[in-house]
Structure 1
């Protein structure tokens, strides 16, 4: 068994494709990819915030104070267009002639004097996720509304202090009992298993294809079966080799995340990142790795069984494709708001590991729940291994 394990592992490590998925992908490509995504996202957000909104007011004479506020606002720039119908307004925005059109109610002054709410219409493209146009418009309108409210209360004999008290009779001074680690873990803790667990699957997938369907395609499966090694030892040796590559992928990914987070924290002088990562103890990092071992074992056994059944590389890849999608669903549980680790969730494979990693990063895990997590995940891993051994002993599968 160990001879098979060492032989297969050495051969895999000689394969450039395997090394790419085990080492290069988690160590270099993913950090660069996520860093680039973060940079572009931040750049887009800054660009949206700095964007000057081209606007048009229809019936602006109804509220000259509001028109004046927008005209002298740094975030807004007036555009001279003649738009009379709603269709013309929508078409102008779609043609990128302007960004915002606000149609004021002609009877605003009369409605204000009669203590009635005046309804205005705003047209803009709200497809942007950042929503800079809507945010800036609401801020400008909120300031105008506040000025009107102050005017009403001043006419009624109230001063600014009384107006402020009336506007906000109760103010709350907030004290967050969650430390930085817990807040950090809650926000991105669900994302970490979303990266780690699929990477374990990827780290097991290509070695599994090579050690199963690859043997068939190369015509070496018959030679392997003639060696004085039991089929059980052959399967377990291959299984351990695939599990090792999956765990290695996870280990390198964890190291890469910690390493690059420290580097980014130091370069950008964001000490909080280094402090939070430093607050996660060696025990917790070790438990994260241990949690990934039975998950990797499930993937290794399942993928090896699929690979043994397939007659070629291409067929094996076709069978394994849907598995990549199925794995995502239980992993997403860790990212679902309001879902926390309990006894019920600790018995659900993959989802339990996803939630446990999130709780470990937050520092709020109930360590007693690790027992059912390891027990349930280990049980499913054992079932997968036994099925794989049974599958390997069927001549109809090996020589199909």
Structure 2
């Protein structure tokens, strides 16, 4: 009987265009579209910035000092520049604020004498902070000039560069690229399937309970000689399956965007993705998704039973979004690891366990605890739903 109810409700759910869009179309397309757009936009602005001619005013009484000479000699690898020589700062700030100038560098008149005496020279750089990238470019120019002046200074003093660098650090990172990505970006994966898993559960839950109340078919269903708990379980299975499907399609869309369409230009990204998408990882992820989506269904059903309209159900579930997403965000924070404390915190443990699975450093004892905790919470949510579903006042609108 549970399977009959499940089959009937699943058929009705798959006929709902809104549910199909939320469960399949949006999850599988949203990540490639977002990733493709963000990559294209970033590349466009980077290329545009490199092509933009940077107008730099050089203010000094001596326009032929070493700084201006070396700046003029820098090739346009950091972007084209136009040097404008000035002898005072009159109207300088106004020109920069109006973007007729992008940068201004005030060079001391005795710059060459200071360098000849091996002293430190102070230059002032005027820029507009809201114009991102301009400061980085001038820092690149100054760094090149500083290195050349330093070489001249050491050559003039007949000194070895190692005198100012007594220690040569060599950092050997024993972490694999997979571990680094798992720790840095692995938290995004569970956040993604938590979002779409929740959304995938939400629309079927509203339709199967609030929708049936609006259509006056829920009372008819309850008059059939079927125990109420079987009706609840049949509907809950459809809601959970929709959430799992939405989460899986979201992950498929993400990995397709990374792997098939090469939307991110990271060396070795394809090999890392292939290393992550192992059968054990996929099975482990699905095992974690099952109690998670059941938990989602269990907390949604009482809200959708209580609501009297589709709009009211959406309003009731909106605050629940924040309650669910907050622990997901906490799990993404750095330096929060899966241990014997966080393994007992629902949703946070799923996020952290997934990060460890992506990195390949999962502790199976902690994974088992995390899974058991989510199973307990899923069972409690089912019990709560059953008690709310059993109240006549909630069912009859």
TM-score for the superposition, normalised by structure 2 = 0.89
**Which residue, 234, 239, 253 being the options, matches 2:236?**
239
1:63 touches 1:108 (CA, 8 Å); kept in 2?
no
CA distance in 1, matches of 2:43, 2:183: 21
**Which residue, 319, 335, 340 being the options, matches 2:337?**
340
CA distance in 2, matches of 1:30, 1:47: 25
2:299 touches 2:385 (CA, 8 Å); kept in 1?
yes
SS of residue matched to 1:264: coil
CA distance in 2, matches of 1:166, 1:212: 77
SS of residue matched to 1:102: strand
2:244 touches 2:290 (CA, 8 Å); kept in 1?
yes
2:60 touches 2:86 (CA, 8 Å); kept in 1?
no
1:230 is matched with which residue? 227
> Segments of 4+ in structure 1 off by > 6 A?
80-83, 267-271
1:95 paired with 2:98, answer yes
1:66 paired with 2:67, answer yes
CA distance in 2, matches of 1:276, 1:328: 27
1:121 paired with 2:118, answer no
Deviations 1:192-226 (A, max 9, x none): 11211101001001111111211122222222222
- How far did 1:386 drift? 1.0
2:275 is matched with which residue? 279
SS of residue matched to 2:104: strand
1:62 touches 1:104 (CA, 8 Å); kept in 2?
no
CA distance in 2, matches of 1:228, 1:106: 98
CA distance in 2, matches of 1:83, 1:97: 16
1:311 paired with 2:301, answer no
CA distance in 2, matches of 1:189, 1:234: 38
2:193 is matched with which residue? 196
Q: Which runs of 5+ in 1 are unaligned?
A: none
1:6 is matched with which residue? 7
Mark the CA change 1:398 to 1:90 in structure 2 (over 3 Å): closer, same or farther.
farther
1:79 touches 1:98 (CA, 8 Å); kept in 2?
no
1:63 touches 1:109 (CA, 8 Å); kept in 2?
no
- How far did 1:168 drift? 2.6
1:351 paired with 2:356, answer no
2:182 touches 2:359 (CA, 8 Å); kept in 1?
yes
1:33 paired with 2:37, answer no
Deviations 1:137-170 (A, max 9, x none): 1122122223333343344333xxx1x2124332
**Which residue, 66, 80, 83 being the options, matches 1:78?**
83
Deviations 1:311-330 (A, max 9, x none): 10111111111222232221
CA distance in 2, matches of 1:147, 1:14: 71
SS of residue matched to 1:61: coil
SS of residue matched to 1:306: helix
2:107 is matched with which residue? 104
Mark the CA change 1:288 to 1:84 in structure 2 (over 3 Å): closer, same or farther.
same
Deviations 1:59-98 (A, max 9, x none): 262772212233343232224789735xx44432332212
- How far did 1:334 drift? 3.5
Aligned residues: 391
Mark the CA change 1:147 to 1:275 in structure 2 (over 3 Å): closer, same or farther.
closer
Mark the CA change 1:272 to 1:153 in structure 2 (over 3 Å): closer, same or farther.
closer
- How far did 1:251 drift? 2.1
Q: Which runs of 5+ in 2 are unaligned?
A: none
